[in-house]
Amino acid sequence: MSNVNIVFTRVDNRLVHGQVGNVWVTASGANLILVVDDEVCKDSLQQSLMKMTADSVGVKIRFFSVQKTIDIIGKAAPSQKIFIVAKTPFVIEELVKNGVPIKSCNIGNMHKSEGKEIFHEVHVYTDKNDIDCFERLKNMGVDVYIQITPNDRKYVV
């Protein structure tokens, strides 16, 4: 599976939106956005909204569950430059634990919710479980960092 061409991985509660489509896809050189989410892969309305963003920047988009991603990502063509996006770092951790060759993970937006405290500026809210997940990812060799847009400073977690 090490031949899989994953060019960018991002945690963003919003999944695919203008910032991901217009800024990160361009900066990463991706030609395929892979949304890894067990709920969205079954929700055609959310998919159609995200597909509009992908279409506007001329890239393909796929919606897979965590397990489907683990099962088939190794079959990706070398020409596919894959941008993985998930809502939580726990999804990324599950992928890595199951052999998906993710080398780095950009932490984008993690919204404020009950029990979450500000971790970085105004975009990343975490609890102890999130921070522990970041540490586990780092221990598995994943470079975990916060960077809201490519022009912003990169903060190593």
Least confident range from 1-10, 32-41, 68-77: namely 1-10
Q: Quick one: pLDDT at residue 1?
A: 61
Least confident range from 15-29, 54-68, 138-152: namely 15-29
Check the CA dihedral 108-113-118-122 and report its sign.
positive
Structural domain span for residue 25: 6-156
What CATH number should be reported for the domain holding residue 120?
3.40.35.10
Residue 133 inside a domain? The answer is yes
In this structure, what token pair is assigned to residue 147? 């960077």
> What residues are labeled active site?
17
Mean pLDDT estimate for the chain = 94
Check the CA dihedral 30-31-32-33 and report its sign.
positive
Whole-model pTM: value is 0.95
Residue 134 inside a domain? The answer is yes
- Name the domain count of the chain: 1
